[in-house]
Amino acid sequence: MRTKLVAGNWKMNGSLASIRELIKGIQAGMGSVGSAGVIVCPPAIYIAEVSKLVEGSNISVGSQNIGDQDSGAYTGEISGAMLKEYGCEYAIVGHSERRSIYGETDEMVANRYAAARRNGLKPILCVGELLEEREQGITEEVVGRQIDAVISLEGVESLADAVIAYEPVWAIGTGKTASPEQAQDVHKFIRDKIAALNADVAANLVIQYGGSVKGSNAQELFGMPDIDGGLIGGAALQADDFLAICQAAG
Ligand code: PEP
């Protein structure tokens, strides 16, 4: 039985004052989110503060990325152990902004996914196609390749402790949402692909949808059989907007 999971990716937004307000607002509404799991992924520098603020609540903390190495001369990187020490339970890997702006390849993403697992963090593996790839009809090929990179490094069983977030790149931050049917088709493709290797892992795998999810479209998306919640960008920055999405999941 899968539980719906909603994660807020705050990206490089906020200040100490605004994140305190945001957490206060989310906490105030947590009573109304029912059974949905709720995760917030602050900018790395605020992880320690957010972990302290959410202590004792049902809100989990995730990082927006994770170093692929465990320690050493890797300027600018943050290791899994460091993230864990400051209260992270999840680590987003392979977000499309990391892939497209910072050049992270499928192989680099797979190494970060492995680092998360090695350090006891649950990876949230982001996959998704560009608009031109959808138009060329190669969405499944692209998403399949992104997932295969992880399976060939860590094995399909590794997905038992992971989340996949399907995020069509053309829908991220653009206001264009995939229709529930378009999203469901890809989610089903992902689940079937994994089921061909391990039916139990596939049945229990949480597959989130991400891309301009809002309170007004969340219910329809989350009502699809293979959509198990969402990875939320813009709408995660206001407590009321985020809570409306969490309520739709709950
Ligand atoms: C994201 O960045 O993962 C995302 C889905 O952003 P938005 O909700 O703003 O489209």
What CATH number is associated with residue 192? 3.20.20.70
Q: What is the pTM of this model?
A: 0.97
Contact between residue 91 and residue 66 where contact means Cβ atoms under 8 Å apart: yes
Q: CA-to-CA distance for 63 and 55, rounded, in angstroms?
A: 16
Q: CA-to-CA distance for 82 and 86, rounded, in angstroms?
A: 6
Atom number, ligand 1, closest to the C-alpha of residue 175: 10
Q: CA-to-CA distance for 116 and 162, rounded, in angstroms?
A: 10
The range of the structural domain enclosing residue 109 comes to 5-249
User: Is there a catalytic annotation at residue 167?
Assistant: yes
AA identity, residue 78: I
Q: CA-to-CA distance for 186 and 166, rounded, in angstroms?
A: 8
Question: What b/e string do you get for 161-171 counting C-beta neighbours within 10 Å, with b at 16 or more?
Answer: ebbbbbbbbbb
pLDDT score, position 159: 98
Domain count, the chain: 1
C-alpha 87 – ligand 1 centre gap (Å):
23
Assign 144 to helix, strand or coil: helix
pLDDT confidence tier of residue 177, bands split at 50, 70 and 90: confident
pLDDT digits (tens, 9 = 90+) for 23-57: 999 999 999 999 999 999 999 999 999 999 999 99
Residue 193, pLDDT > 90, answer yes
Atom number, ligand 1, closest to the C-alpha of residue 210: 5
Contact between residue 166 and residue 209 where contact means Cβ atoms under 8 Å apart: yes
Catalytic residue among 104, 129, 133, 167: 167
Please state the φ and ψ torsions of residue 92, each to the nearest 5 degrees.
-70, 135
Contact between residue 63 and residue 47 where contact means Cβ atoms under 8 Å apart: yes
Query: Which residues share a beta bridge with 73?
Result: none
Catalytic residue among 77, 95, 104, 135: 95
pLDDT digits (tens, 9 = 90+) for 139-173: 999 999 999 999 999 999 999 999 999 999 999 98
Residue 91, pLDDT > 90, answer yes
C-alpha 100 – ligand 1 centre gap (Å):
14
